[in-house]
Structure 1
Amino acid sequence: MKSALLHVTVPFVACVALANTSLFDAVNVDLSYDHYAEPTVDSFPRFLAMPLNSLINVAYALMGLFWLLKHKSQRETEDDAYMREVFALMAMFYAPVQWTRLALLTRAPAVLDQWFTLPIFAWVPVWIGVIQSKSSQKHAPMLELCSVLSYGLALMFDRGFEVALACHVLVAVLKGAQVQMRLGDGQTLRYLVLAVLSCAGFVVLKLLDHWLARFWLFQRVTGHFWSKVCDVLQFHYSFCFLTTLTRITHKAQD
């Protein structure tokens, strides 16, 4: 676990340092509560001004902690544990970044909220590569670095982040479908479908946040909140898919 913690902490600290410089002053980020449909509660402290969209970050942290501390199966190797622990720590580190963005409404956490999304999605094809071939693990740092650097598109275009994120999502889904056809079974297919549906919910509900707020059902419990619920679920089902595939691979090797 120490290696996984180091793996996540070093780039996290580096990105935080860079985000607090003038490097990303031109990046298009939203810095007001008007971006969200959920009404603020002025009587609450700043870190709970938007209660539901703030508190959902507890679910990210708890989900990450669950998978971080999940007991190893008898077939889980050190490499398998490392892939799981890095992914879990990413979820746990991401939660306070999102919460800080809502509490402060300043540029640095808004940039980090976007930026950290990319290597999280990139870890899915990295893990799949390791499942398919242990030799792929040596390429993981380079792939993750490319993912982090792809945020540079946000400096070049107004919608550069959205382009980078769409590419990351597409690659993750395609790699998931590819490995499912090669190694998966009925159980992994169910997890893959649930992960993809959760991802679709995450994207669509976030985009339709203000439009959905026209309806009473989404005026307090908004589309953006439900998109975060879907995000937590896509994290969870991705874990289920990848850990189950790992076990299947070990059985096939016996």
Structure 2
Amino acid sequence: MAPQAPTNRVALITGATSGIGRAAACRLARDGLTVVVSGRDRSRGEKIVSDIRAEDGTAHFVAADLRDAASVGDLARQATEVGGGHVDVLVHSAGIGILGPTESTTEADFDHLFGINVKVPYLLTGQLAPAMAARGDGAIINVSSISSGRGIDGMAAYAASNAALDQLTRSWAAEYGPHGVRVNSVMPGSTDTPMIDPARGYFEDLAGRAPARRLADPDEVAAAIAYFASPQAAHIHGVILPVDGGFTAVN
């Protein structure tokens, strides 16, 4: 029999003030979790908390400008405090993208990209996963991208950062799985979020190459995140799940 998830579960979602992170926060709250919404924009974060509470959900906002170990540590501490002493589900949804030729990517942009997309999840997992392991239960869900496993022109740096995140999924599954912490990755395709607005036509063309022939809705990605966070996924470790309308199956 699969172990029962503890009551009063608490989920921390980074990058939760827009896009996939916002959809995940709302979905997990509807599933009965206490949600810690994290992001840089206080007004948007507080609006999401208000929306969740209006539907009788439980949510808190913690402002976080994740840039170094100190800011990551502050987020972990505050999330644990507002969560009543524990964080049971960690969703790494914060991420940035850089498009363009390799030669046009500056060192500063490259470092910022890897800092947000790889270093922050690494450090935050290091802050929170040991306590999950000590309790013998927890779920960590990484949000990567189909670019991590495909050669897509103009996405070299972004793809490399997501490939690193997917490899962390496998490594953390080996490290924390024996202690009851499930680590999995959701790999979205082109998704209708503000992140794609600067190159919306490009991403619509990518989506058109998939059997679904459309952009994903953030709620569809959030449904996969919610599954990995739920007791129904109790025997699933180290999986990288495409939510891409079939793009990786045919390209």
TM-score normalised by structure 1 residue count: 0.33
Higher relative contact order (CA 8 A, sep 6+): 1
TM-score normalised by structure 2 residue count: 0.33
* More strand by percentage: 2
* More helix by percentage: 1
Bigger Rg over Cα: 1
